[in-house]
Amino acid sequence: MKLNLKIWRQGGKYKGEFVNYPNLEVNPDMSFLEMLDVLNEELVSKREEPVAFEHDCREGICGTCSLVIDGQAHGPMKGTTTCQVHMRHYHEGETIVIEPFRAQSFPVIKDLVVDRSAFDRIIQSGGYVSVNTGQAQDANAIPIEKEQASHSFDAAACIGCGACVAACPNSSAMLFTSAKVSHLALLPQGLVEHQKRVLAMVAQMDKEGFGKCSNVTACEAECPKEISVENIARMNREYMGAVFASDKKMV
Amino acid sequence: MATAIDSKIPAGNITEKWESYKGHVPLVAPNNKRRIDVIIVGSGLAGASAAASLGELGYNVKCFTFHDSPRRAHSIAAQGGINAAKNYRNDGDSVYRLFYDTIKGGDFRAREANVHRLAEVSGDIIDQCVAQGVPFAREYGGLLDNRSFGGTQVSRTFYARGQTGQQLLIGAYQALSRQVALGTVKLYNRHEMLDTVVVDGKCRGIIVRNLLTGELERHAAHAVVLCTGGYGNVFYLSTNAMMCNTTATWRAHRRGAFFGNPCYTQIHPTCIPVSGEYQSKLTLMSESLRNDGRCWVPKKAEDRLKDPRQIPEEDRDYYLERRYPAFGNLVPRDIASRAAKVACDEGLGVGKSGLAVYLDFADAIKRKGKAAVELAYGNLFDMYAKITGENPYETPMRIYPAVHYTMGGLWVDYDLMTSVPGLYACGEANFSDHGANRLGASALMQGLADGYFVLPYTIGSYLSKEIRTGAISTNTPEFEQVEKEVRERINQLMNLGGSQSVESFHRRLGKIMWDKCGMARNAEGLKQAIQEIQALKAEFWKDAFVPGSANDFNPELEKAWRVADFIELGELMCRDALHRNESCGGHFREEYQTDKGEAERDDVNFQYVAAWEWGGNGEPVLHKEPLVYEEIEVVQRSYE
């Protein structure tokens, strides 16, 4: 089938503009990124610079791929990363608009590639358990209720892609940050540092320039791992607890 | 001329070697660690765990990754699990049994002392990961759950849904992030290592390219550790992520590091089949599925394209259960892959291409209920449905083997040091502990064992002699020279000005490798492959085209450098496969098989590690490390 692409190009000779690529021959079994591969091979054969986009595992787990497709982060399907979108969901003659994730804290590097290193800095500010190699006790010395571990896992499944920020009208990173806060706060291993952690991570999130949360919940709707906004509620509670009822004051 | 090399295996009984080593290895005092710089290249399980652990010890660590974030490393995609000899099941597991299974699974081509050490530290890894907050699967009593994997008769695999690699990597990434915040590790993302610098016979640093600006940078250290993964993408189509490459290991090889057993590649039996020419990568369906899925093909060729649900039981051949009753669908990967190939070669392969077999869950759904199957494999079933548009709860999956892992890699001694002093290799990047075939759930174990529990000890042996060296300058003729060579090669690539895309060369290389150095190999095909690859290399350097600029973010240039290295490695793999006149594990030479079509080893002539030295423009030089089995009796591997 033939499709028309309208792609955001930025850097080099492009100042930041949409460029049309009409009549691309596409096989319905291709993935979305394989379609971009075909476009790029065509551009290279015409001695033109290919469209820069990020990708790696192409099976929905590394979080490298991004793209806003027809206005939606990671495209039209629920719980799916861009690399898992297949062209059989599109029809002959359709026009697809492709843009980078847009947020002040994710500056565009080139075309569809943005800098998401702010997420690394949020984790560095406190998204871990302080345990050195070799300090651990036997793994079964800490029983954890199955359901509790499962809740924690649901939050830990975040792939750090940034779709939540791209989907949010305020470019808020609350879903990403709260997923890490929840993952660790729901486990006994993470409890020791839970207050320090939430304060540090929220402070870093604000410092990076991400917006505030106004309960739009677009983040949950467009999250390819369907991370729940419950995590945001939990982070708010953790944060309030740390600010107003610090464990330290009770000693 | 082949010469023997020293693997520095400690003396003593197999169960005492590592304990005794740890008790006697020289240490670096805390005040001296601060004066020692270590470079880690790569941030996957091996790299992140090594960088975090060395940072915790107090060394000055620099960690490099070409990704935008350390969390993107391909370890993230490992699905099924991680082995450990915890014996939480009380099912007869032990350190010795894990050791034995791994040696046997590797078809008696792995080094005993390393594998025993791996089994010894396996339990510590689980403890460490749980303490970091890795949410492994649990039972209702709150304790850890296990599952079975191929090649074993115990349940020793710990798992985190179908995302074990992701959760383990995030654990290591968080430990690394903590050290970054503490200032012991400096992180360089979007930086790719393009060469190593050797000064007076010791590795003293690396040249990296800043992928955003194109700038070349020099970084010096007292030791360099490559944790840069495997080279499965030499086949173009593999389950590896798109950016996985051999550049770091290949460049180190060209600077003197021997390459061990390059022809040992693992073809994973359960992947989603190729659907067309445009295909960019293959997707793995975890081996854990073979716990409940049954592999079969129709008995009659005319049933190939029939709806599989309409084919009655008596017309189905459950070929693994028939050929290997003791292990059934849980035979090791090399055996399961070859059996699928045999079925398809006989004309019984299913689907349009004829290159697929069924993996059927109908019995499991009947026995356990759909909900239980969904709980165990839900994310894998969803992944399958997204890619193929078919529902595996209703119709059997179609699967076919695909390149997944490379057991070969840089040759290392017991200390994980390559043949270049001061240059180490960990994880999949080294020729590793898996012999000629890796068992499922052992890659995560080895990557983390190397990074958390082995390297932090063994590197001290070398660094304890470096405490008087002082800071290493990058302002030397050696750094100057290597940087110049890197710059020249980049310019050469940018100025090729030919007519063919780099991608098209990669695709052609992959086809040569898959057809002639893939699941089955023979001497004639390998000789042809060597010639074809040499011709491809000449054509590449004449007619490839790299768009854009070298002083900018340019993924096409990155790809061109990597593909050029893959072409050279491909030739070495074929040479290694050609010289090894036997079949073992993942290396199956058609000339050497038993009456039943199983791999036939030649222990008299080939019980050694082939460690290849770069031969410049001439032929590579073969060095042999004999494999001495003091503990285990070497036998014909049988899973019948």
Instruction: Give yes or no for a contact between B603 and B634, defined as CB atoms under 8 angstroms apart.
Output: yes
How many Å lie between the alpha carbon of A190 and the closest alpha carbon of chain B? 7
Alpha carbon distances (Å) from B391 to B349, B351, B373, B384: 20, 15, 14, 8
Do A240 and A121 lie in one domain? The reply is yes
Which pLDDT score is estimated for A251? 42
CATH number of B268-402: 3.90.700.10
Q: Is it the case that residue B527 has pLDDT exceeding 70? A: yes
pLDDT tens by residue, B127-158: 999 999 999 999 999 999 998 887 888 999 99
B158 DSSP 8-state letter: E
Instruction: Give yes or no for a contact between B453 and B45, defined as CB atoms under 8 angstroms apart.
Output: no
How many Å lie between the alpha carbon of A251 and the closest alpha carbon of chain B? 26
First to last CA, chain B: 40
Reading the block at residue B198, the tokens are 């050797």
Reading the block at residue B66, the tokens are 């070409």
A111 lies in some domain? no
* CB count in 10 Å sphere of residue B29: 10
Task: Give the residue carrying structure tokens 């406190």.
Answer: A126
Verify whether the Cβ–Cβ distance A131 to B88 is below 8 Å.
no
Name the residue facing B135 among A56, A80, A149 (closest C-beta).
A149
Verify whether the Cβ–Cβ distance B132 to A109 is below 8 Å.
no
Picking from B79, B132, B163 by the largest number of A CB atoms within 10 A of its own CB, the best residue to mutate is B132
How many Å lie between the alpha carbon of A187 and the closest alpha carbon of chain B? 7
In chain B, domain spans: 31-264+407-640, 268-402
A182 sits in which H/E element: helix A174-185
Reading the block at residue A214, the tokens are 């106004």
B326 DSSP 8-state letter: T
Do A131 and A86 lie in one domain? The reply is no
A107 lies in some domain? no
Do A15 and A41 lie in one domain? The reply is yes
What is the CATH superfamily name and number for domain B31-264+407-640? FAD/NAD(P)-binding domain (3.50.50.60)
* CB count in 10 Å sphere of residue A148: 15
Do A242 and A214 lie in one domain? The reply is yes
Alpha carbon distances (Å) from B617 to A1, B531, B534, B613: 48, 15, 12, 12
* Contacts with A113 from chain B: Cβ below 8 Å: 553
How high is the mean pLDDT of chain A? 96
B97, B316, B333, B637: the active-site residue: B333
Q: How many domains are there within chain A? A: 2
In this complex, is the C-beta atom of A56 within 8 Å of any C-beta atom belonging to chain B? yes
A109 lies in some domain? no
- What backbone phi and psi angles, to 5 degrees, belong to B3? -125, 155
Which pLDDT score is estimated for B211? 98
Residue type for B371, please? A
B619: left (phi over 0), alpha (psi -120 to 50) or beta: beta
Picking from A39, A55, A59 by the largest number of B CB atoms within 10 A of its own CB, the best residue to mutate is A59
Name the residue facing A146 among B140, B281, B555 (closest C-beta).
B140
Verify whether the Cβ–Cβ distance B133 to A80 is below 8 Å.
no
Give CA–CA dist B557/A110, Å, rounded. Answer: 15
A138 lies in some domain? yes
Picking from A14, A27, A54, A56 by the largest number of B CB atoms within 10 A of its own CB, the best residue to mutate is A56
- Length in residues, chain A: 251
ipTM above 0.90, yes or no: yes
A75 lies in some domain? yes
Do A124 and A85 lie in one domain? The reply is no
Name the residue facing A52 among B49, B71, B553 (closest C-beta).
B553
Do A223 and A126 lie in one domain? The reply is yes
In a 10 Å sphere around its CB, with 0-12 CB exposed, 13-18 middle and 19+ buried, how is residue B158 labelled?
buried
pLDDT tens by residue, B214-230: 999 999 999 999 999 99
Q: Which A residues 33-52 touch B at CB under 8 Å?
A: 33-34, 37-38, 41, 43-45, 47-50, 52
pLDDT tens by residue, B420-442: 999 999 999 999 899 999 999 99
Instruction: Give yes or no for a contact between B609 and B411, defined as CB atoms under 8 angstroms apart.
Output: yes
Q: Is it the case that residue B418 has pLDDT exceeding 50? A: yes
Report how many Cβ contacts below 8 Å link chain A to chain B. Answer: 214
Do A127 and A92 lie in one domain? The reply is no
pLDDT above 90 covers what percent of chain B?
91
Give CA–CA dist B78/B164, Å, rounded. Answer: 6
How many Å lie between the alpha carbon of A220 and the closest alpha carbon of chain B? 18
How high is the mean pLDDT of chain B? 95
**A139 lies in which domain range?**
117-250
Q: Which of B566, B630, B582 is nearest to B249 (CA)?
A: B566
A112 lies in some domain? no
Q: Is it the case that residue B636 has pLDDT exceeding 90? A: no
Do A53 and A149 lie in one domain? The reply is no
pLDDT tens by residue, B475-502: 999 999 999 999 999 999 999 999 999 9
A163 lies in some domain? yes
Do A11 and A88 lie in one domain? The reply is yes
* Contacts with B77 from chain A: Cβ below 8 Å: 57, 59, 61-62
A7 lies in some domain? yes
Residue type for B531, please? Q
Angle between helices B45-57 and B455-463 (to 10 degrees): 60
Q: Read off the CATH number of the domain in which A216 is found.
A: 1.10.1060.10
- Specify whether B333 is catalytic: yes
Do A82 and A128 lie in one domain? The reply is no
Q: Is it the case that residue B275 has pLDDT exceeding 80? A: yes
In this complex, is the C-beta atom of A24 within 8 Å of any C-beta atom belonging to chain B? no
In this complex, is the C-beta atom of A203 within 8 Å of any C-beta atom belonging to chain B? no
Half-sphere exposure of B531 (CA within 13 A, CB side): 5
Give CA–CA dist B142/B148, Å, rounded. Answer: 20
